[in-house]
Structure 1
Amino acid sequence: MKVLIADDSPVLVTALRKLLEQSGYEVVAAMDGLEAVQCFYQENPDLVLLDIQMPKLHGYVVCRLLKEDPASRHIPVLILTGRDSAEDRYWGNRSGADGYLTKESMGDELLDAIQSALASRALSDMGRVEPLPQSLDESDVLSRVCEVLDRKLFEATIVNDIVGVGVRAMDLEATVAEALNIIRRILDFEAGAVVLPNERRLVVRFEKAISEGDFDEFRSLSALRCRQFTTADVTIDDLSVSFTPGFDESEMIDSASGIEDKGWPSFAVAPLWSRGEVVGVLVLGSRREGAFSDATDRTLRTIEPHVASVVDSARHYQKLLEQEARSSLSSLFE
């Protein structure tokens, strides 16, 4: 097993190298953040020990670069630093690090953390192909930094728009419609929906007219994905369908022979977690092969908690409206 040590202290690197080599690890070292990224892609280590405060590139930036790359995000990164404030630990977690250790943890505690991280990696590495070494110069690394910063700004903008939906009191269909409108700006899909397992309900919108057969298949796939993420035994037969406002079912779902069945070769899914449970499942479908990619999955992971929050709020708001309506009806007969 190969470990990359990224730290600008030659004394600490020497001590770590001795400790790890005595424990059977192969060690490579980098003395600054830029060299750490270059060394990572050249050497393909099994684990990274990363300092925070380094020349050229901050440790948090290095960690974020590695964790944003689908080819390297599975490699454990343990932050090993002399800084131990709550703020530092928070940013370590937010940068994607797999663990946070202080430099007082040298010795058995560090070795245990390395073994634990490598064991966790082994469980997710089944069938994974080892990437080829890459030679990156300084401009290549800085270009990747700029890409990550651009993407983070882009994601923050979308998240802000989604959070804005939650501050407006709307019923469930209107909330889902607003959320899907925002998601549609960044992801190209032909069908979008939220499955609500507790209510056994599918709130859906289509971007193009589809066949009745494709409509039924979309419902079936949505019910299947819902069962995968929840304990609710939702089937196509008991999944009621409601459409987002402005949707004309008679125009969008063709029951005649004018539109052929194409199926949904591309299907993206994100469970919506709120208050410790899956309150819904976001499903996106495209009839184009290969419409969704690793970037799609990354975007869905970013927006999922915020979509979950606004959908859960809309669910509770809808229940309040229904309770008030029932209460008003009851008062008429008193």
Structure 2
Amino acid sequence: MDASAQARILVADDSPLILDMVRQVLEAAGHTVLTAPDGLAAINMVLRERPDLIISDVEMPEMTGLQLCRLLKGDSRTRGIPFLILSAHKEQYEQFWGRESGADDYLPKPFGPGALLERVQALLARFPRSSETGKAIELPITTRIEALERVNASLERRLFEQTIIHGISAIAATASGERDTARAVLERLSRLVELSAGAFAFAKGGTSYVLVRGPVHPRTLQQLHAAIVSRLQLSGSELAAPVLVAGAEYISERHPNPEPAIAVQVLQAAGHPVGFLAVARTSGRDFDEPERELLDLVAGQAALVLENARLVEAERTHAQALAKQNEELRRLNRTITDLIATVTHDLRTPLSSVIGYLELVLEDTELQEETAEFVRVARRNGERMLQMINDLLDLSRLEAGRTPITPSPVSLAPVLREVVTLLRPDLEAKRQVYTEEIPADLPALMADPDRLHQVLLNLLGNASKYTPEGGRIHASARVEGDRVRIAIHDTGMGLSEEDLHMVFDKFFRARRPEMARITGTGLGLAIVKTVVELHGGEVFADSRLNEGSTFGCLLPIARAPR
């Protein structure tokens, strides 16, 4: 039916002024208006007339609007009638209790005709009109006592339902896994409803968990299983072999099997069906309406708890698989590290000997120039290979924890001067301009002096190597919190964003034609990263293609002795 069509609307308010105002607005919109001066009169009007919508003030004699709403929403015959609460109070707690009582909308006073009609039309559009509109539901309530007894009964029912919901929700905190959760929920259900057997079955994966209470005939379980299978087949799922979670006492098949009463409820999570709850009993009594309502309540909450248990269990299984995979990777990495250490150690000694013999050959004054050049090329390549071997050996020892790091208070400036002095010939050969900005009051670092020297040598050496002739290199340092930020900036070739993400990886070298002639092992920055992190620091890099780069690290400040 069109929401704009004429509706029968009950308005309950103890203020004649409000009643008249609301009645005029609604009648002008084409609706039929029924009025009641208090909650008790409103109940009787609902039972006699069954309106399409109820509008009620909160504060009324005999019975408040919240009590009225709770009573009507607790009755299956009237809970489908939309309920709009009016109140002069805007406090959050009153809106909260309005929602808790089951109200479908809330309109604070004062309000204009437009706001009222907007809420009314929205509620009429949301709730389908009943064909029973205008027909009496039952005899009217005649006394305030009777009305309050109904409210109390409704509240007791609500408390009972909330207790059940809380009890099932609490299972999630103690149960371990889907199977244990299913068992605990079925056991709790068996204390609320008489049953011979109960089962949960999931559409996703087809697992079913069965609880048996007392002696049960095998055929009863077969019928319970068949009821689940028929529902699952309708949803396009298959059922795996059932898992017995508790109970295993059967009646001999020679005994007669009384026809069981079976009830099946859909499990829904996030509005989607995820499986079924099925129960059976052989006492000869069918499941009545209150029991089916209880089963529906349990199914609704159990669906959330069981789905959560499934997700937690899946996450746990995934985490265990990842942990196992990570352990395998760590073991493989240790194996590779040990292999590299062994191979590089075995290669270093003979290679050093080869380089030594090549130097002896070059001392021969009668050696022809062409031959001497060949020998010099061989020596340079040997030295480069020896450097790679030394870097590999050093890195493998660092990663394996076989090289001790002994931090102590150390001043940055003197160590930096040593490194610059060492690199001065390379800087001058490429006419590179080096500048630095190191504050005189920079606090001491907590670092291993030799390893700090190695970090600075690799950072500055890398900057010089990838900066063209005439370029500039600038070193700076400043305090950031409880650490010192050391940065080396250059005006070199720079890196692409893709290469920047891999620049601290072992053996990484940018694949660009202009870099092909630059020699290197691809291990310098990897060593920097490892050493810095062993000090509890971190590395950083910033670069743009053809615009230079900044590489550096943050190292802890040495604490003053107490």
TM-score range, shorter chain: 0.7 to 0.9
| Greater displacement, 28-37 / 139-148 | 28-37
The CA deviation at 1:116 is 4.0
SS in structure 2 at match of 1:252 = coil
The CA deviation at 1:138 is 1.7
Cα pair 1:42 1:134 within 8 Å, conserved: yes
| Residue of structure 1 aligned with 2:313, choices 309, 318, 321 | 318
| Residue of structure 2 aligned with 1:291, choices 287, 290, 306 | 287
Please state if 1:259 is matched with 2:256.
yes
Higher relative contact order (CA 8 A, sep 6+): 1
Cα pair 1:272 1:305 within 8 Å, conserved: yes
Shift in alpha-carbon separation, 1:83–1:261, aligned structure 2, 3 A:
same
Q: Partner amino acid for 2:15?
A: S
The CA deviation at 1:155 is 2.5
Please state if 1:218 is matched with 2:215.
no
The CA deviation at 1:234 is 1.5
Structure 2: unaligned runs, 5 residues or longer: 1-6, 333-562
| Greater displacement, 10-19 / 24-33 | 24-33
Equivalent residues in 2 for 1:96-135, closer than 5 Å: 96-122=102-128, 125=130, 130-135=135-140
Equivalent residues in 2 for 1:131-142, closer than 5 Å: 131-136=136-141, 137-142=143-148
Distance 2:233 2:90 in 1: 42
Distance 2:230 2:90 in 1: 45
Equivalent residues in 2 for 1:6-85, closer than 5 Å: 6-85=12-91
What residue in structure 2 maps to residue 271 of structure 1? 267
Structure 1: unaligned runs, 5 residues or longer: none
What residue in structure 2 maps to residue 240 of structure 1? 241
Shift in alpha-carbon separation, 1:24–1:253, aligned structure 2, 3 A:
farther
Distance 1:128 1:12 in 2: 25
Q: Partner amino acid for 1:296?
A: E
Distance 1:298 1:105 in 2: 39
Shift in alpha-carbon separation, 1:98–1:226, aligned structure 2, 3 A:
farther
Distance 2:139 2:24 in 1: 27
Q: Partner amino acid for 1:233?
A: G
Cα pair 1:48 1:76 within 8 Å, conserved: yes
Equivalent residues in 2 for 1:194-213, closer than 5 Å: 194-213=200-219
Cα pair 2:50 2:132 within 8 Å, conserved: no
Cα pair 2:56 2:86 within 8 Å, conserved: yes
The CA deviation string for residues 53-81 of structure 1, in whole angstroms up to 9 with x for no partner, is 22332222211110111111111212233
The CA deviation string for residues 27-49 of structure 1, in whole angstroms up to 9 with x for no partner, is 22222223322332233222210
> TM-score, with normalisation over the residues of structure 2?
0.51
Distance 2:263 2:299 in 1: 16
The CA deviation at 1:112 is 4.2
Shift in alpha-carbon separation, 1:13–1:227, aligned structure 2, 3 A:
farther
Q: Partner amino acid for 2:255?
A: G
Shift in alpha-carbon separation, 1:173–1:45, aligned structure 2, 3 A:
same
Please state if 1:163 is matched with 2:162.
no
| Greater displacement, 296-305 / 176-185 | 296-305
Cα pair 2:266 2:273 within 8 Å, conserved: no
| Greater displacement, 93-102 / 135-144 | 93-102
What residue in structure 2 maps to residue 175 of structure 1? 181
Cα pair 2:264 2:276 within 8 Å, conserved: no
Distance 1:10 1:121 in 2: 28
Cα pair 2:224 2:279 within 8 Å, conserved: no
Cα pair 1:279 1:308 within 8 Å, conserved: yes
SS in structure 1 at match of 2:86 = strand
| Greater displacement, 296-305 / 198-207 | 296-305
Distance 1:243 1:206 in 2: 8
The CA deviation at 1:289 is 5.2
Cα pair 1:176 1:203 within 8 Å, conserved: yes
Distance 1:128 1:48 in 2: 12
| Residue of structure 2 aligned with 1:308, choices 292, 298, 303 | 303
SS in structure 2 at match of 1:70 = coil
Cα pair 1:32 1:55 within 8 Å, conserved: yes
Cα pair 1:3 1:48 within 8 Å, conserved: yes
| Residue of structure 2 aligned with 1:95, choices 85, 98, 101 | 101
What residue in structure 1 maps to residue 483 of structure 2? none
What is the alpha-carbon root mean square deviation over aligned residues?
3.3
Q: Partner amino acid for 1:283?
A: A
Identity among equivalent pairs (%): 25
The CA deviation string for residues 264-323 of structure 1, in whole angstroms up to 9 with x for no partner, is 4x414142315x654443333345454131x33543454455423431332234335645
The CA deviation at 1:95 is 1.7
| Greater displacement, 135-144 / 184-193 | 184-193
The CA deviation at 1:169 is 4.1
The CA deviation at 1:91 is 2.5
Distance 2:251 2:309 in 1: 27
Shift in alpha-carbon separation, 1:324–1:52, aligned structure 2, 3 A:
same
SS in structure 2 at match of 1:178 = helix
SS in structure 2 at match of 1:234 = coil
Bigger-Rg structure (1/2): 2
Distance 1:296 1:65 in 2: 20
